[in-house]
Amino acid sequence: MDFNSSLRIAATGLHAQTARMRVIAENIANADSAGKAPGDEPYRRRIPTFQASYDAEVGGRVVEIGRLAYDMSDFSSRYEPGHPAADESGFVQYPNVNTLVETVDMRQAQRSYEANLNVVTVTRQMLGRTLDILRG
């Protein structure tokens, strides 16, 4: 595998992890987004998926962000009788987003991003050293 292929494969990983972090950030931002009226469904947690495919030009497998899936787990309910979205019993449905889970997912995505960034950095260093050897 050549330097260019290594850089392109790492770039697909960077792109996928960036998209993953964007979805996680959206989930965290909407963790307390209840509906506006009784019966309105609150924000539903989104889950990024990945796909691996063979790229003949690169000569290796690359990762892509797949479709976004929805977490179909139950919403949480809180007793807030004064809320505009409260039902006749005074309960308001809130998103099925657990900020602790999202924080752990975000950290994992950051570490994966950093690993791909290290591949880019090391590849650039190797390329630079190769050029130095050829010049000398």
**Residues 43-63: what's their mean pLDDT?**
92
**Total number of domains constituting the chain:** 1
* DSSP assignment letter at 55: E
pTM over 0.75: yes
Tell me the HSE value of 89 on the side-chain side, using a 13 A CA sphere.
7
Based on the number of CB atoms within 10 Å of its own CB, is 24 exposed (0-12), middle (13-18) or buried (19 or more)? buried
% the chain with pLDDT above 90: 82
- Distance of alpha carbon 44 from alpha carbon 41, whole angstroms: 8
59-99 pLDDT, tens digit per residue, is: 888 999 999 999 999 999 999 999 999 999 999 999 999 99
Domain that holds residue 77: 3-135
Q: What share of the chain is helix, strand, coil (3-state, %, to 5)?
A: 45, 20, 30
Chain-centroid distance, C-alpha 110: 9
* pLDDT at residue 1, rounded to an integer: 62
Query: Under a CB-based contact definition with an 8 Å cutoff, are residues 62 and 52 in contact?
Result: yes
DSSP assignment letter at 41: -
- Closest C-alpha among 30, 3, 15 to residue 99: 30
